[in-house]
Amino acid sequence: MPYDIGVSRDLPPSGRAISAADRRAVANWLFLLCAMIFVMVVLGGLTRLTGSGLSIMEWAPVAGVLPPLNHAQWEQLFALYKQTAQYRLVNDGFGLAGFQRIFWLEWVHRLWGRLMGLAVLLPLIWFWLRGRLPPGLGWRLVLFFVLGGLQGAVGWFMVASGFFPDATAVAPSRLALHLGLALVLYAAVLWTGLSVRRPVPTGPTAPRGLRALVGGFTIALSLTILAGAFVAGTHAGFEYNTFPLMGRHLIPRAYDQLHPFWRNMIANIAAVQFDHRVLATVTATLGLAAALAALAAPPALRRPVLVMAALVVLQYALGVATLLYVVPVPLAVTHQANAVLTLTAALVALHALRRPRAGPAA
């Protein structure tokens, strides 16, 4: 994800020179957006784990800012929710008070998304009009804003799958799409912020193979997180609550029970959980290998890689604990939050390991 903005020239169209203070201000704003996306991912995990995501049956980007303001409005929304299979099969009889508990979490989740849109748009306009954006950055940030809006539409596309007859939760594939797009946006904003802060690699040379190990780790981690979305979507964490064996077997016998075979990867609980375990093990192994390789690196390169390795070890332990204790909400949310932190550490380490560019531009 190379983006070395302002390397060969440092004058925006306005003619105003971009100062180090400008870069710091823009980078800090982008890091704040990353923090908001992180909170959004955690809120999304909570809505999924508590079954709150289906409590609001309308996508009203503007009117939905206001919650119900009187008893009649609450009863109207509750009547809509009673039409869902989730209410009939899971929450039948939990009353208006129970509905209000799950409603507020989903409402906060959606409100936070709207606030994120403002947090992108308003500072973007301000920085752009004052000529404080490095060259080439403005339109990339416009693209981020558009992708954020698309993420809201994808979120509704996901939620709508939970309103199908006999559906008590959203479709796993749509959940994976929603989470995947959120993490792509998070990674793009984070990388851009790091590149605004340090547009030219100036650090020491990395030991041979370290960059490849961290890059492989980042890819494996991304695949593991997506596999985790299918575990969550199929509720696979409530089965095979033993480790390292799944029941009495290393490879569950039900692994290939669906046809065609590829459907096992996204819909077979045994296969989905096994694949997540294997990917997590590969990711942790790559993280530890990168940490060993980083021991020979200068401190500026060694530290981010060691932090990355420590977080993936913690992530592995959280995953095992979440499985053994049958998915308690606090552990499951912590597991999801730490996945984003581990991805953050991987991207920071990968950015620090960029090769210095040769030539006049550098």
Residues 165-192 pLDDT 10s: 887 888 999 999 999 999 999 999 999 9
How much is the pTM?
A: 0.91
| Residues 55, 48: Cα–Cα separation, whole Å | 11
Least confident of 82-96, 127-141, 161-175, 198-212: 198-212
Least confident of 14-28, 140-154, 270-284, 338-352: 14-28
For residue 10, what pLDDT is reported?
46
Q: What is the pLDDT of residues 9-50, one digit of tens each?
A: 444 545 567 788 999 999 999 999 999 999 999 999 999 998
71: pLDDT strictly greater than 80: yes
For residue 357, what pLDDT is reported?
65
**Percent of residues, the chain, with pLDDT higher than 90:** 70
- How much is the average pLDDT of 45-71? 87
| Residues 211, 273: Cα–Cα separation, whole Å | 30
91: pLDDT strictly greater than 90: no
The 10 Å Cβ neighbour count of residue 358 is 7
User: Taking phi first (over 0 means left), then psi (-120 to 50 degrees means alpha), and beta for anything else, what does residue 328 get?
Assistant: beta
Least confident of 46-55, 172-181, 350-359: 350-359
For residue 12, what pLDDT is reported?
52
Please confirm whether the linkage preceding 201 is cis (ω < 30° from 0): no
- How much is the average pLDDT of 77-104? 89
How far, in whole angstroms, is CA 156 from its chain's centroid? 17
Q: What is the pLDDT of residues 280-312, one digit of tens each?
A: 999 999 999 999 999 998 888 999 999 999 999
Q: What is the pLDDT of residues 200-255, one digit of tens each?
A: 887 677 888 999 999 999 999 999 999 999 999 999 999 999 999 998 899 999 99
155: pLDDT strictly greater than 70: yes
261: pLDDT strictly greater than 70: yes
- How much is the average pLDDT of 346-357? 89
Kindly tell me the number of DSSP H helices and DSSP E strands found in the chain.
11, 0
For residue 64, what pLDDT is reported?
81
99 in Cβ contact with 81 (< 8 Å)? yes
Burial of 168 (0-12, 13-18, 19+ CB in 10 A): middle
Q: Could you tell me the pLDDT band of residue 90, with boundaries at 50, 70 and 90?
A: confident
The 10 Å Cβ neighbour count of residue 79 is 10
273 in Cβ contact with 231 (< 8 Å)? yes
2: pLDDT strictly greater than 70: no
For residue 9, what pLDDT is reported?
43
For residue 11, what pLDDT is reported?
45
